[in-house]
Amino acid sequence: MKTTYVICLTSVLLLLGCGKKKYDNDASALWNYKIETAFDEMTNISDQAITGNMVYYKMGEVVFASPGQDVNVLKTPCNVLITLDTTVSPKVLTVDYGNSNCICNDGKTRRGKIITTFTGAYAASGTVITHTTDNYYVNDIKYDGTKTVTNVGLNNNGQPHFNVQINGTATMTTGEVVQYTSSRIRTWTQGYGTLLNYMDDEYDINGTTNATYSSGGGYSSQTITPIHLKVGCAFPVSGKLEITPSSKPVRTIDYGSGTCDYTFTVTVNGYTFTIN
């Protein structure tokens, strides 16, 4: 089971315009959240598509097709069409949401395709998994580019870890284009010895991101202490992250000490706020 890192900072932006002396109206946290989440979801979507158990990311029914099969017969509005070609190397998985928006079970609209190639099993050392997009939208934001996940084997503690690289763009509904790159190490800290029980999986995330805007400016981010994730919790439970917009103060995000309480703090200009 592949777990993702979600930077849930939407609520922070509600604070940023409240007092001109303390805050600034900057969209970097919100855009980082949207872009990182969309690319991270590609891994979960392809992972679930292999089994057809797309609990959160489907619209209607999940339909399987053979490579080259006439998709017009099978693809109906709001169904997700999955095509898996194991006759080629690397293997190719295509998840097709169609050309029109429909609301998925997670409340988001999607359309377009995610195309995933993989050289082996996720847990196998040396496996390379690459996600690319084809006219792919989430909530009418268009995502282009690639995400590559490489299993680089065991670290010094005997834990599997992965190199995750994202190089893409997001075209916002406003027309703003964000060029986005991310480089991270994901360490599988718990549950890698019980592959059939994904609910005990836990991960640490370390890394950096950089983004530039078509209108000028941008931001960077980096983890200060590892962001810790548990499969049983849909939100980071600990770790610290810094986001630095161009010519703006640093925002420090603290996810806490390990409790799944959907609460984090934000520190800007020396002021700290609890978000829940």
> Average pLDDT of 78-90?
92
In the predicted structure, residue 168 carries a pLDDT above the cut 80: yes
Which pTM was predicted?
0.83
Which two tokens mark 89? 């190397």
The whole-number pLDDT of residue 19 equals: 39
pLDDT band of 234, cuts 50, 70, 90: low
In the predicted structure, residue 235 carries a pLDDT above the cut 80: no
pLDDT band of 4, cuts 50, 70, 90: very low
Q: Which of 269, 272, 260 is nearest to 231 (CA)?
A: 260
Which of 11-15, 71-75, 77-81 has the highest average model confidence (pLDDT)?
77-81
What value does the mean pLDDT of the chain take? Answer: 85
Check if the beta carbon of residue 100 is closer than 8 Å to that of residue 77.
yes
The residue assigned the tokens 């065991």 is: 154
pLDDT, tens digit (0-9, with 9 covering 90-100), for 122-160: 889 999 999 999 999 999 999 999 999 999 999 999 999
The total of other beta-carbon atoms located within 10 Å of residue 218's CB is: 18
The whole-number pLDDT of residue 22 equals: 45
- In sequence order, the 6+-apart residues with CB closer than 8 A to the CB of 211 are 28, 31, 32, 35, 178, 179, 180, 181, 218, 219, 220
The whole-number pLDDT of residue 20 equals: 39
> Average pLDDT of 102-120?
93
Q: Measuring CA to CA, how many Å separate 74 from each of 63, 86, 98, 116? A: 7, 20, 11, 21
Q: Which comes out higher in pLDDT, residue 9 or 124?
A: 124
Instruction: Calculate the dihedral angle through the C-alpha atoms of 88, 93, 134, 104, rounding to the nearest 10 degrees.
Output: 170
- In sequence order, the 6+-apart residues with CB closer than 8 A to the CB of 61 are 79, 80
Q: Which amino acid is at 87?
A: T
